[in-house]
Amino acid sequence: MLSSFKPTWMVESIYQITPEQLKKANIKAILTDLDNTLIAWNNPEATEETIRWIKLMKKNDIKVVILSNNSNKRVKRVASILELDFIPNALKPLTLGFKKAIKEYSFPREEWLMVGDQIITDIKGANNAGFKSVLVKPILDSDAWNTRLNRFVELKIMNYLIKNDSEMKWRDTIHGRRINE
């Protein structure tokens, strides 16, 4: 049962994901969580690193779409700054937002990748929808009040998965070496 929370890959940061890695995995489009994945949850501004990463993806014809449980107003504000499409109110881990992405864009589910910092919403949702996924470490150690409970439960699930699955290791790239080995 807990295997439904297992990501396809684990990398420390979204910025470690490159177009070359994605092409090797036949990924042509990315759904990315917003808060603590693409930007800090408490800051609507993007860093230069975020902007460079998005430009790199666009330059390599990799579609990037924000998939967030946040409201339209919150996501639209950031998406307009980053010049990205977005799907708000996604209700992850339900599959509604994932299905909307398939319907709105011309990529089959096998060519999508979900990137997020929460296994309960982002990774479970991707698995429910049949998408590949990357778990990243949160940008900040702090969270909004509504995420703190999830983090407590996630810690228990992650500890179980790491203990019982040798593939549950942080890597430097999606296909790369394990960190701290």
Q: Would you state the pLDDT for residue 172?
A: 87
Q: Would you state the pLDDT for residue 153?
A: 84
Q: Which two tokens stand for residue 177?
A: 């070496």
- Angle, vertex CA 67, rays to CA 75 and CA 112, nearest 5: 150
Mean pLDDT (the chain, rounded): 90
Tell me which residues of the chain have a pLDDT lower than 70. Answer: 1, 41-42, 44, 140-149, 177-181
Q: Would you state the pLDDT for residue 37?
A: 93
> How much of the chain is helix, strand and coil, in % rounded to 5?
45, 15, 40
**12 contacts 134 by C-beta, under 8 angstroms:** no
pTM of the model: 0.90
**62 contacts 22 by C-beta, under 8 angstroms:** yes
Q: Would you state the pLDDT for residue 2?
A: 85
